[in-house]
Amino acid sequence: MNETYNLSTHSSSPATATPSVMADSDRLHYKIYSDFSEIKALSQQWENLVATSQWNKVFASLEWYLANYDPTAEPYVIVATRGAEMTCILPLLLDREAGFAIFPEYGNDYNDVLVRDSNPALVADLLRYAISVESPCRHLRLSRLRPDSNCLAAISWLKDDPGIECRYSDCGVCFYAELPGTFEDYLASLGQKFRRKIRRAFRDATAGGLTICELYPRNLDPVELSDIYFRLLMCRHSDQELSEQEEAQVFVREALPPMFQKGSMRVFAVIEQGRIIAVLLAFVAGNGLLAWGSGFLTGCECWSPGTMLIAFAIQQAIDAGLREFDFGTGTEAYKKHWTNREHKVTEVELISKC
């Protein structure tokens, strides 16, 4: 079922302006998509919006949303347009029976609404509509929001709305490195013992004839990459249940090749005699990279492949002028060795009182 509604926009107040005093070209037109074929038809417009957004290019993508399909829920994508321009996409899944919608979460470190030009007033209108009487949903659960998310910026416009209840909960912290201008400056900021470990890993790699490099679609087929990554991943997580392995394999095969092909995902590898023995996948965001997944062959732990790859990826990020290297969700102890900052991750529930 697809439905279209016209709501007016505003520039400085959460109160909706009167439609009669606004030109049609100034109004926001909302449409709910719950059919996969129609959602897929948005591909080019969706991609154009991703290109202008500061949100993580992978988590924001249509391909990632489609790979996250949950058969127990239904697609619930709300799109806002003004004139011919798509300005905002809220990619959710709806549990119609329970009456609430959530972000798809498999593999997601962070979630957000996709919006052109980071317009909190526009997003507030979209969220207000998402739980209005015109929609099939009266309850949103917006999880894994970074402090700089578009959703959190928009919530401040809704807190005083008498028709909406806002509930906040803490989802923990995530660690990241705020990057300086040079890799040597970054190394100098680390503990002396850990800094020596990184330098030793690079020396051992050179002495052992290993190559640390970035891979590109021109020299590695994206489909082959997904197979390689999954094999290396299972070397680290061979104790997973068969059902979990199958789910992970399906997701990797669907989501990763297009991300690699488009450059939304960067791939760093350790190569021994022409064979890839370790990989690190890093997702591209507006001003940095996010380390999403890694794997390496059993038996190559002596080379410290994880240390080599993280250090190399950070070096490449700095050389590209990026300012952040994010380690995503999870508070594993090793992350503190690499990072100098942390941010809280929040969940917000919006519940209609009407």
pLDDT of the residue at 197: 96
Percent above pLDDT 90 for the chain: 73
Tell me: pLDDT of 8 over 70.
no
Q: Is the pTM above the cut of 0.85?
A: yes
Percent above pLDDT 70 for the chain: 91
pLDDT of the residue at 20: 32
Q: Which pLDDT band, with edges at 50, 70 and 90, does 6 fall under?
A: very low
Which residue in 191, 128, 85 sits closest to 353, CA to CA?
128
Tell me: pLDDT of 261 over 60.
yes
In this prediction, residues 230-255 reach a mean pLDDT of: 80
Alpha-carbon distance values, 278 to 204, 211, 300, 309 (Å)? 15, 11, 9, 8
| SS (HEC) of the chain | CCEEEEECCCCCCCCCCCHHHCCHHHCEEEEEECCHHHHHCCHHHHHHHHHHCCCCCCCCCHHHHHHCCCCCCEEEEEEEEECCEEEEEEEEEEECCCCEEECCCCCCCCCCCEECCCCHHHHHHHHHHHCCCCCCCCEEEEEEECCCCHHHHHHCCCCCCCCEEEEEEEEEEEEEEECCCCHHHHHHCCCHHHHHHHHHHHHHHHHCCEEEEEECCCCCCHHHHHHHHHHHHHHHCCCCCHHHHHHHHHHHHHHHHHHHHHCCEEEEEEEECCEEEEEEEEEECCCEEEEEEEEECCCCHHHCHHHHHHHHHHHHHHHCCCCEEECCCCCCCCHHHHCCEEEEEEEEEEEECC
| DSSP bridge pairs for 111 | none
Q: Which pLDDT band, with edges at 50, 70 and 90, does 116 fall under?
A: confident
Tell me: pLDDT of 182 over 50.
yes
d(CA 40, CA 268): 30
pLDDT of the residue at 72: 82
Least trusted range by pLDDT, from 157-161, 276-280, 320-324: 157-161
Summarize pLDDT for 13-56 with one digit per residue, the tens. Answer: 333 333 333 334 467 899 999 999 999 999 999 999 999 888 99
Summarize pLDDT for 122-137 with one digit per residue, the tens. Answer: 999 999 999 998 888 9
pLDDT of the residue at 27: 78
pLDDT of the residue at 241: 63
Tell me: pLDDT of 7 over 50.
no
CB within 8 Å of 67: residues ≥ 6 apart: 106, 107, 251, 254, 255
Which two three-digit tokens encode residue 3? 């439905």
Summarize pLDDT for 96-111 with one digit per residue, the tens. Answer: 777 799 999 888 999 9
